[in-house]
Each structure stands twice: as C-alpha cells, then as structure tokens.
C-alpha cells in the first residue's frame, strides 16, 4: 500500500478524543468534491483517507485528458454549492491574470479539464489550510471488499491489508473496468501499434459520451490517419448543449407506486413542457431529471429495477451533453471517409484493436464489493446506500457511481449537492453500530 501524506501529521493533539475516521474511495472529481465538503462542513476533527486504485487526486485531468474540454460550461462546475458561480469567477480571474480577456462571459466557456482540476485542487488546499484539526492521506490501492465491522465499516484492499472507518464515501465513478485513464492509454497504444503495420487494420472505439468524442478527436489531433470505426453504444453519438431557454419545470409528481402511472405522468409532463418550451427537448429532459427522484422514491423495488435496467442508461445519455464546438468537430470527423459508424456488437469488448470508451457507472462493481445483489442496491438523494430498502449505515455513494443507482440530474452540481448532503447527514459523534450490525 502506498501512503503519501498531504496534510499535517500533528492533527490530533495528545489526549484529545479519537477523531472520526472517513474513507473516500475514488479520487476523481466526485472524491475531491467530498473531501472539500468534509473540510468545509464537518465541524469535528477527522482523518480522511483518499483511496484510489491508480490515480492520484485530480489525475483525470493529466495528459490528453487534461486538454479535453469539460462537457459542462463553467457556470455549472462550482464545487461550492453556496456559490454557484465560483468556478466561472475563478476562471475569469485566472484568464485576466494571464492577460486573456474572454470574448464571452467565462460562465459560458467549456475549458480544458486541466483548468477545472487546478480549480478543484485550489479549493481543496484552501479548505485544508483552514483545518488544522484534519488529517488527509492519499492511498494508492484498489478496494476489493467493503463490509460491516464491529464498530464501523471495514475496507479490504487488493494488497491484502484492511482498515476500519466510521464512514465510507464511495466515489468510484466508472469503476476499474471502465477507468477513463485506461481508455486514453489504450487508444494511444493501439494507434501507435497499428500505425507501424504495413496494412493497418481499423481501430474501433466503442462509446456514446464525452469520452468517446474526446478520445477520437485526440487521436486525429495527434496525427493518426488510419481508419477509425465508431461502434456507437445505445442512444447514439453525444448531443451538443442546446441554445434554447433553460428552466422547464414539471408539475408535482403523483405519489404513485405504479410504474405505469409514473410513466403516464412523465409522458404527459414531457409533452406539456415541450409545447411550452417550443420543442426544447433538452430543457424537458432536464426538468424530468429534476423530478424523477421523487417519482422513483415511491416506486416499489421491482419497478425501480425495470426503470434502471431499461431506461436509466438512455436517461443518462440524453442528460449529458458536450460543448457545441466539440460536437461540431465530431460531426465533421464522422463526415470524412476515414471515420465510419458501425453497429455495436453485443457482449464484452475484447478485440485487441478495440478501445472501450463507454462510461458505465460502477454500480455492479460496488454491489460486488458489498457482497450484495446489484438489483437490491439503491442510493437516496444524500447518496446513502440501501440494500433491499434497508439502510447500510456508514456508507454513501457519490457522483457517477450513484448515478447508476438512482435517476438524474447527471451533472457536477448534483454530485456536489450529494457530497454536501452526505457530509451534513453524518452523525455528530462517532457511530456505534455498523451496517448489518
């Protein structure tokens, strides 16, 4: 196991009460949002371990991944829920300090993710500087098992070691099977390998989201001129952000326990909202995302699972959009002969010239770590995990992994809201009972 101390060693004064022990599994944007929320909102002393299988905090924005543009505009990327324009303001100041005057307001910009990472790490270190009673460790290891301990939650690591925490925030995003860094690495390796061949076979990219678009455009920007086949996952290519007015609102959802009634409500509200908004489907999808959590809460588990199996991936797909400029470049690329769309084959992606760029929330992997049935696992609006409707004390899922366990909104703002709600719901004292205990 690899430890790197990023905070002071003398955090706990001698003779003080034992501090709360918290684990954050996953050091992507969601894990960082949780760490910031803890430092800003948890009044008591704590020690937090930021655990990641491979990536250091913020590694999502290294190399090519850092040059790719954020899918959301700056106005939607604040990590401080009490200051929704925080990132846009930070960005404006940063650009002015570099002598760049943005043509549009910085709130509309999609910026290289390295800038978003710089902002997150800035807010992280500012929050840490104000907390002399907090200790944060980064740990590089894969978590294999999470389960109840006599007093807390037990984490088992791949290397065989284990540790017990009072609370565990799971922010494993797309999991180890769909790690973003792997897609970038593999795409570059496959491109380099087949470019050296006399008759190079096509390179196939599988996906339907921002990652697919970014990897494809990166390969072309690096001069890869071979044939690329794009095997499009359900929903089709990613959509660009629309220009229309925001703010469609659905009426009060019924307190129904029937999936049929829930769909009737959604269908009716969608057509009403579409008529009101002049056919702005994105505003309608967003309005549905904001309301579906309430409809979902009332549904029995079997109905939730039907929704989750058949509709959640499509709901996610239509909720996540890419920058208009990236979409324009993607569409132009698809127009050329060298990039062709092909149908997605069923089954796992195995071929050595195929790179999996799908963004599949790691809900199944999380259920595997917990040793429970994936169909029984749900997350509430604070990210608290439930299995078969019973809470799993001491456990929350935040960000992309939680988006596989409940309906949208699938935005960074929602991740931040979950992180703060999860932190504010922590018990004020160390808990005495573990889940299953």
- Can you give the binding site for ligand FAD, defined by CB under 6 A? 25-31, 51-55, 60, 68, 70-72, 113, 142-143, 171-176, 179-180, 210-211, 214, 399-400, 412
Indicate the residue among 243 and 260 with the shorter CB distance to ligand FAD. 243
Q: Distance of alpha carbon 79 from its chain centroid, rounded?
A: 13
Peptide bond into 68 cis (omega under 30): no
- The Cα–Cα gap between 31 and 420 comes to 12
- The Cα–Cα gap between 437 and 428 comes to 20
Tokens linked to 126: 């500012």
Measured from the CB of residue 362, what is the shortest distance to ligand FAD in angstroms? 6
Tell me the HSE value of 428 on the side-chain side, using a 13 A CA sphere. 1
Tokens linked to 363: 């809900």
Find all residues with CB under 8 Å of 93, minimum gap 6, and list them. none
Measured from the CB of residue 198, what is the shortest distance to ligand FAD in angstroms? 33
Measured from the CB of residue 214, what is the shortest distance to ligand FAD in angstroms? 4
Measured from the CB of residue 215, what is the shortest distance to ligand FAD in angstroms? 8
Measured CA to CA in angstroms, residue 19 lies from 50, 139, 413 at distances of 16, 19, 29
- The Cα–Cα gap between 77 and 6 comes to 24
Contact between 325 and 214 under an 8 Å Cβ cutoff? The reply is no
Indicate the residue among 68 and 233 with the shorter CB distance to ligand FAD. 68
Measured from the CB of residue 367, what is the shortest distance to ligand FAD in angstroms? 12
Q: What is the helix (H) or strand (E) element at residue 321, kind and residue range?
A: strand 321-322
Measured from the CB of residue 34, what is the shortest distance to ligand FAD in angstroms? 9
Indicate the residue among 265 and 412 with the shorter CB distance to ligand FAD. 412
The candidate with the shortest Cα–Cα distance to 235, out of 271, 207, 269, is 207
Measured from the CB of residue 176, what is the shortest distance to ligand FAD in angstroms? 5
CA dihedral 98, 102, 107, 113 (to 10 degrees): -50
Other CB atoms within 10 A of residue 221 CB: 11
Measured from the CB of residue 220, what is the shortest distance to ligand FAD in angstroms? 15
Indicate the residue among 31 and 393 with the shorter CB distance to ligand FAD. 31
Measured from the CB of residue 238, what is the shortest distance to ligand FAD in angstroms? 10
Measured from the CB of residue 181, what is the shortest distance to ligand FAD in angstroms? 7
Indicate the residue among 27 and 405 with the shorter CB distance to ligand FAD. 27
Indicate the residue among 211 and 308 with the shorter CB distance to ligand FAD. 211
DSSP states of 286-331: HHHHHHHHHHHHHS-HHHHHHHHHHTHHHHHHHH-EE-HHHHHHHH
Q: What is the helix (H) or strand (E) element at residue 339, kind and residue range?
A: strand 339-342
Local structure of residue 145 (DSSP, 8 states): E
- The Cα–Cα gap between 77 and 33 comes to 11
Indicate the residue among 29 and 148 with the shorter CB distance to ligand FAD. 29
- The Cα–Cα gap between 282 and 327 comes to 15
Measured from the CB of residue 142, what is the shortest distance to ligand FAD in angstroms? 4
Indicate the residue among 175 and 394 with the shorter CB distance to ligand FAD. 175
- The Cα–Cα gap between 418 and 296 comes to 17
Of all residues in the shown chain, the one whose CB is closest to ligand FAD is 173
Indicate the residue among 209 and 253 with the shorter CB distance to ligand FAD. 209
- The Cα–Cα gap between 116 and 101 comes to 18
Indicate the residue among 27 and 377 with the shorter CB distance to ligand FAD. 27
Indicate the residue among 284 and 370 with the shorter CB distance to ligand FAD. 370
């Amino acid at each position: 196991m690899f430890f790197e101390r990023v905070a002071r060693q003398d955090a706990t004064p001698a003779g003080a009460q034992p501090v709360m022990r918290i684990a954050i599994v996953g050091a992507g944007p969601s894990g960082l949002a949780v760490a910031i929320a803890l430092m800003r909102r948890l009044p008591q002393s704590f020690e937090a371990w930021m655990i990641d299988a491979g990536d250091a905090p913020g590694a999502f924005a290294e190399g090519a991944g850092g040059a790719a543009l954020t899918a959301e505009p700056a106005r939607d990327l604040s990590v401080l829920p009490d200051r929704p324009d925080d990132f846009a303001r930070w960005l404006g100041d940063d650009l002015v300090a570099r002598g760049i005057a943005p043509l549009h307001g910085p709130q509309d910009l999609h910026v290289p993710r390295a800038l978003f990472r710089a902002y997150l790490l800035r807010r992280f270190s500012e929050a840490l500087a104000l907390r002399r009673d907090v200790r944060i460790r980064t740990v590089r290891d894969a978590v294999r098992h999470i389960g109840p301990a006599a007093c807390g939650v037990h984490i088992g690591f791949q290397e065989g070691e284990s540790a017990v925490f009072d609370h565990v925030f799971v922010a494993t995003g797309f999991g180890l099977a769909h790690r973003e860094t792997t897609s970038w690495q593999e795409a570059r390796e496959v491109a380099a390998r087949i470019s050296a061949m006399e008759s190079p076979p096509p390179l196939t990219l599988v996906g339907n989201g921002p990652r697919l678009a970014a990897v494809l455009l990166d390969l072309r920007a690096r001069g890869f001129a071979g044939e690329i086949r794009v095997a499009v996952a359900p929903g089709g290519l990613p959509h660009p952000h629309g220009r229309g007015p925001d703010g469609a609102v659905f009426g009060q959802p019924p307190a129904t326990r029937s999936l049929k009634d829930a769909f009737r409500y959604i269908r009716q509200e969608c057509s009403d909202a579409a008529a009101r908004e002049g056919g702005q489907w994105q505003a309608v999808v967003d309005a549905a995302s904001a309301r579906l959590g309430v409809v979902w809460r009332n549904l029995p588990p079997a109905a939730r699972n039907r929704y989750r199996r058949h509709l959640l991936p499509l709901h996610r797909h239509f909720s996540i959009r890419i920058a208009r400029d990236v979409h324009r470049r993607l569409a132009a690329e698809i127009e050329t002969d060298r990039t062709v769309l092909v149908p997605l084959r069923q089954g796992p992606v195995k071929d050595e010239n195929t790179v999996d760029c799908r963004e599949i929330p790691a809900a199944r992997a999380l259920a595997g770590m917990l040793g429970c049935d994936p169909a029984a696992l749900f997350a509430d609006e604070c990210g608290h995990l439930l299995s078969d409707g019973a809470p799993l004390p001491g456990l929350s899922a935040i960000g992309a992994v939680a988006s596989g366990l409940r309906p949208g909104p699938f935005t960074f703002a929602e991740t931040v809201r979950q992180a703060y709600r999860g932190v504010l719901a922590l018990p004020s004292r160390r808990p005495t009972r573990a889940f299953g205990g």
